[in-house]
């Protein structure tokens, strides 16, 4: 059994979010929460929020009655590029440089290990 949650237009660069997503990829949910709790990265909060949403989505399904919370793991976590806002900053001698403010889209899929 699987559940999905998406968080879009996060104002953190995807490269920075992937560092934290790689830490929790494939782990059990309890382990992932403990890693994210002590992570000093700014992107750990939106990832934790999305994991909680995916877990809530799983528990709201009618076929989730017999699912053990300890058997839930992160099956898929992906960070994609969102839209980039472009700004210009004035520089010396009448020039201007681009400033790119990047955003991210986060997708999380949780799965429960079946007891077969």
* pLDDT value, residue 82: 96
**Of 50, 19, 18, whose CA–CA distance to 33 is shortest?**
50
Q: What percentage of the chain exceeds 90 in pLDDT?
A: 83
Q: Write down the domain spans for the chain.
A: 2-112
> Alpha-carbon distance 4 to 85, whole Å?
28
Mean pLDDT to the nearest integer, 42-49:
95
Spelled out in words, what is the top-level CATH class assigned to the domain 2-112? alpha beta
CA distances from 23 to 51, 53, 54, 94 (A): 14, 19, 18, 44
Is the pLDDT reported for residue 44 higher than 90? yes
pTM above 0.85, yes or no: yes
Residue among 71, 77, 83, 54 nearest 114 (CA)? 71
Name the least confident of 6-20, 25-39, 60-74.
60-74
Tens of pLDDT, residue by residue over 61-78, are 888 777 888 889 999 999
Instruction: Give the chain's mean pLDDT.
Output: 92
With a cut of 70, say whether residue 98 has pLDDT above it: yes
pLDDT > 70 fraction of the chain, expressed in percent and rounded: 97
pLDDT value at position 115? 55
Looking up tokens 């076929």, which residue turns up? 63
């Amino acid at each position: 059994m699987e559940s999905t949650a998406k968080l879009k237009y996060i104002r953190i660069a995807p490269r920075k979010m992937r560092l934290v997503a790689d830490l929790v990829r494939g782990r059990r949910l309890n382990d992932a929460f403990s890693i994210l709790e002590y992570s000093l990265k700014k992107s750990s909060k939106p990832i934790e929020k999305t994991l909680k949403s995916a877990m809530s989505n799983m528990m709201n399904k009618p076929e989730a009655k017999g699912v053990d919370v300890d058997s839930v793991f992160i099956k898929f976590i992906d960070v994609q590029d969102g839209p980039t806002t472009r700004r210009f900053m004035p520089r010396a001698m009448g020039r201007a440089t681009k400033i790119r403010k990047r955003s991210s889209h986060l997708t999380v899929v949780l799965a429960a290990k079946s007891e077969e």
